[in-house]
Amino acid sequence: MARIAEILAARRTYSCEFFPPKNEAGWLSLGRTISELEPLNPDFVSVTYGAGGSTRAKTADLVSWVHRQTPITPMAHLTCTGHTTDEVRAILTDYRAEGIENILALGGDAPVHGDSEPKESHYRFSEELVSDVRAFGGFSIGVAAHPELHPRSPDRDADRRFLATKLAAADFAVTQFFFEVEHYLTMVDELAALGVTKPVVAGIMPISNLGQVTRMAHMSGAEVPEWVVEAMSKAGDDLDVAERIGIDLATELCSKLIDAGVPGLHFYTLNRSWATRKIFDNLHLVNRG
């Protein structure tokens, strides 16, 4: 095991993200995906957490499986929405007992309960969760960053100040995905002007389904540029061609980020391996050791 902050202090990181599957077939498929990505020597993998803790047990199961069955360092997502301080303390206690050392502390989305009462929550902002995880001790803590601003931010200045405050208490950030390198570089410059020196890892989403990515981008406050839409449209209904175009776009973005000195690249895999493996190959990262 290793703390991600220490890895980032030593070198540029390359990492992946997974989500807990909903059924047995999904778990088998994810097992194959992780096995296929393992030869790439990812520095860490992160595991998502459903709205209001809806995948709490599955997230913990997947994090524990990665820790026990692979040489890869896992990072567990943890959201503050829908949790009490006692629940968070219990989750952190379990992770500590398991030997997990990395937490991505997030705000999270409110769970959908229909007509039922919403779950009790002792947190309003992820900054408060970061503070509690820090006080608990023993974890390297990451937070989320939005290059194109958080969708609930009142304005650009407020967004950057809130992020700078989070990073003052955390160890690093991982961004939502984006497509224009300038969005990332501008954010880093704006954070530096506020005195932030913590590393900000760039989140990368290889496109294979334009409609799906557009919906996800809208939810996270990002935009899919027109030039990306035009490039992907050339594939027509050919899904294989669409995936190859998406990989080429992601490879170009990663290359620009590496040239700019990005501290890390984090790939949103959607529980599939082929696109990430191909990008690693394109960037000559497969045998980096």
Residue 248: CATH number of its domain: 3.20.20.220
Q: What is the pLDDT of residue 53?
A: 61
**pLDDT by residue for the chain (289 residues), tens digit each?**
699 999 999 999 999 999 999 899 999 999 999 999 999 999 999 999 876 566 778 999 999 999 999 999 999 999 888 789 999 999 999 999 999 999 999 987 665 554 445 567 778 788 999 999 999 999 999 999 999 999 889 999 999 999 999 999 999 999 999 999 999 999 999 999 999 999 999 999 999 888 888 888 888 888 899 999 999 999 998 999 999 999 999 999 999 999 999 999 999 999 999 999 999 999 999 877 5
**287 within some domain:** no
Domain span holding position 45: 4-282
Catalytic residue list: 17
Q: What is the pLDDT of residue 62?
A: 94
Q: What is the pLDDT of residue 118?
A: 58
**147 within some domain:** yes
**96 within some domain:** yes
**288 within some domain:** no
Q: How would DSSP label each residue in the chain?
A: ---HHHHHHHS-EEEEEE---SSHHHHHHHHHHHHHHGGG--SEEEE---GGGTTHHHHHHHHHHHHHHSSSPEEEEEE-TT--HHHHHHHHHHHHHHT--EEEEE--PPPP-TTSPPPP-S-SSHHHHHHHHHHH-S-EEEEEE-TT--TT-SSHHHHHHHHHHHHHHSSEEEEEE-S-HHHHHHHHHHHHHTT--S-EEEEE---S-HHHHHHHHHHHT----HHHHHHHHTTTT-HHHHHHHHHHHHHHHHHHHHHTT-SEEEEE-TT--HHHHHHHHHTT-TT--
Q: What is the pLDDT of residue 117?
A: 55
Q: What is the pLDDT of residue 109?
A: 66
**289 within some domain:** no
> For the chain, what is the domain count?
1
Q: What is the pLDDT of residue 218?
A: 81
Q: What is the pLDDT of residue 115?
A: 42
